[in-house]
Structure 1
Amino acid sequence: MNKIKLKKNGFSMVEVLIALLLLGTVGLGFLAVLANSSSHTLNADVRATAESIARSQMEYVKAQPYDGSNPPVYLVDTTKFDATIWQITITGERLDPRGDGTGNDDGLQKITITVEYYRGGSWDDVVVLEGYKYTG
């Protein structure tokens, strides 16, 4: 009598399920890393744009006539950004390098520009740039 030998070809259902579980776990890990990377890229882009806006606002303030009031007030150049997602605050402070009181302007002011980004229903500070305006 001839015995027929059955060869076991292929994979069992348990082996297939384990392989799918391993592939799914690796795939989810990859997607998590990709999502995290995208978030960091977006944050870097927002920060770079905010720095550019802050620098252009500082140049705009320096080009405006010197304001001798206390505190000095300077306008924001609203043509350089989208006001629905960016908010710019410019504050001026009279300095007193001679030590004779800020009542008489020594011609030196500290300018602070704060750039905020609208994210998730609130404004987040992105960049604070400080510079000086001088009139001789």
Structure 2
Amino acid sequence: MIKIYTDGSCLNNPGNGGWAAIINQNGEVKEISGSVKDTTNNKMELMAPIMALKQIKQNDQIEIYTDSQYVRLGITEWVHKWIKNNWQTSKKEPVKNKELWIQLYELTNQFEIKWIWVKAHAGNALNEEVDLLAKKAAELN
């Protein structure tokens, strides 16, 4: 079982952003993070699981913990409707961050993933840690 905690941060929204993930693969823990100039919080929230999944080489069961309902609901529910509607929302508007959603969708199809929402800033130690990593990454710009 692989457990991944992800988070994104944006100092101003839009503004300088950071993403981070903590990957626990059979007891081996790896932290990854990155920063982007002139971005949005939602883009950083999406980048975190994308970059984490790119680190996974074997097909193992994965749990991804996120405090972003945008990411969790987007990848488990909304994406199927967007694809069916040619990447348009129910309001017939283009889906924002389409390129990132496509990347995440393609990566998730390679694995068996359970998406778990955790409440932000509620005392979950790994969620707090990944939040700090994302904020530190955003400050690097």
TM-score, normalising length from structure 1?
Answer: 0.25
Greater RCO structure (CA 8 Å; 6+ sep): 2
**Higher CA-based Rg:** 1
TM-score, L = length of structure 2: 0.24
